[in-house]
Structure formats: structure tokens, C-alpha cells
């Protein structure tokens, strides 16, 4: 009978380990399905030329969502170039009057409100949340960073901003950004 008890112990340990691996896969980018993009956009090349993220993601300065660059913006910069395969794809979208069907990689839970406008106005670097996009020769298949609520709260607790300009009601001289639940959960 002593053998049977150790057998159950091993089964229990294997079950706990399997459950842990499953949970890790579900709550990390390991479990996030890879996303393919229609064009292999090289962030590295564009940022090395001195372009800012908001030069292409123009809505980041005015809206909650950063948005995707309109095809017309890409085509305007790349007209008249010798067309490499990826630029031929871009040209085809432009000639067809179509927007490039970019697929979302980063997603927050549906109850979390995040405003790019507020964070851009506060001079938070895009890499803080998105990771080192400036190093990529092609779009990432998964988020480069996995964010948790403690990441957001930690940033809010550390940051003290200048006097608000009306864009960020929770921002005040000498006071931290609000960590009240309602700030982000709506």
C-alpha cells in the first residue's frame, strides 16, 4: 500500500505542474496566438530616420486610440521609390483605395480604459507599454510586453507631472496620478 500513496503524490504533483503551465500559457504572451500582418512594416527603419511614433499614429495625440496610419500617408512618403516587394503591396492597397488591413496585436481587457492622448500629453514614451518597437525589422507577432495592473499602478505611483492643461484632470503639481480604480476601470 505504501507504493500506492507515493503514486498518488506523483500524480498530484504532475497535475499541479500541468495546471501551472496551463495558467502560465493563458496569462502570458506564450498563450497569445501569433498575428500576421499584410505588410512587413519595419519600425526600426522608420524610427532610425527620426520619425516619431505619432507621425504615423497621428490619432494618439487626439484620441483614446492611437489608430493605424492611413494608407494615403504611407503612399505619400513612398511614392516614386523603387518598389521592393513590401512596397508593392503598399502600392496595391493605395491604388485600390483600400486601407491596409492591419491586425491588432495589443489588447487590454474590455473593462480597462486607456487613453493614448493622455499618456502622449504626459510624455510617456511609447516603449513603456509597447516595448522596444524601434528594434524591429517586421511587425511583432505578439505583444513585446505583457502588462499587468501592477505595471500601470506602479507607473502612476512613480510619476509626478507638471501642472495640468485640462487634458489630464488627475495631473497636478507635486501630486501623483490617481490610482483609484475608476481611473482605468470603467
Per-residue pLDDT tens over the stretch 72-117: 999 998 887 777 899 999 999 999 999 999 999 998 999 999 999 9
CA distance 118 to 16: 42
pLDDT category of residue 177 using cuts at 50, 70 and 90: confident
Distances (CA, A) of 43 to 6, 32, 51, 57, 118: 55, 21, 10, 12, 23
What are the sequence ranges of the domains in the chain? 37-184
pLDDT category of residue 184 using cuts at 50, 70 and 90: very high
- What local confidence, expressed as pLDDT, does residue 33 receive? 84
**pLDDT tens, position by position, 134-154:** 999 999 999 999 889 999 999
Q: Is 81 exposed, middle or buried (CB count within 10 Å of its CB: 0-12, 13-18, 19+)?
A: exposed
CA distance 64 to 114: 7
**φ, ψ (nearest 5 deg) of residue 175:** -120, 145
pLDDT at 18 over 70: no
pLDDT category of residue 67 using cuts at 50, 70 and 90: very high
pLDDT at 21 over 80: no
Please, what is the average pLDDT of the chain? 81
CA distance 97 to 71: 8
The structure's pTM equals 0.71
Amino acid at each position: 500500500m505504501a507504493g500506492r500513496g507515493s503514486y498518488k503524490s506523483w500524480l498530484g504533483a504532475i497535475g499541479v505542474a500541468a495546471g501551472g503551465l496551463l495558467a502560465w500559457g493563458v496569462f502570458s504572451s506564450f498563450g497569445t496566438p501569433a498575428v500576421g500582418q499584410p505588410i512587413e512594416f519595419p519600425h526600426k527603419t522608420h524610427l532610425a530616420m527620426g520619425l516619431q511614433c505619432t507621425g504615423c499614429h497621428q490619432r494618439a495625440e487626439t484620441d483614446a486610440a492611437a489608430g493605424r496610419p492611413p494608407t494615403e500617408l504611407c503612399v505619400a512618403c513612398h511614392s516614386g521609390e523603387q518598389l521592393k516587394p513590401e512596397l508593392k503591396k503598399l502600392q496595391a492597397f493605395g491604388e485600390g483605395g483600400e486601407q491596409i488591413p492591419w491586425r491588432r496585436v495589443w489588447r487590454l481587457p474590455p473593462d480597462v480604459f486607456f487613453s493614448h492622448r493622455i499618456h502622449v500629453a504626459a510624455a510617456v514614451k511609447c516603449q513603456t507599454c509597447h516595448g522596444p518597437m524601434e528594434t524591429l525589422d517586421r511587425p511583432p507577432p505578439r505583444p513585446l510586453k505583457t502588462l499587468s495592473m501592477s505595471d500601470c499602478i506602479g507607473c502612476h505611483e512613480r510619476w509626478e507631472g507638471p501642472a495640468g492643461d485640462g487634458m489630464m484632470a488627475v495631473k497636478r503639481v507635486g501630486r501623483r496620478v490617481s490610482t483609484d480604480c475608476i481611473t482605468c476601470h470603467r
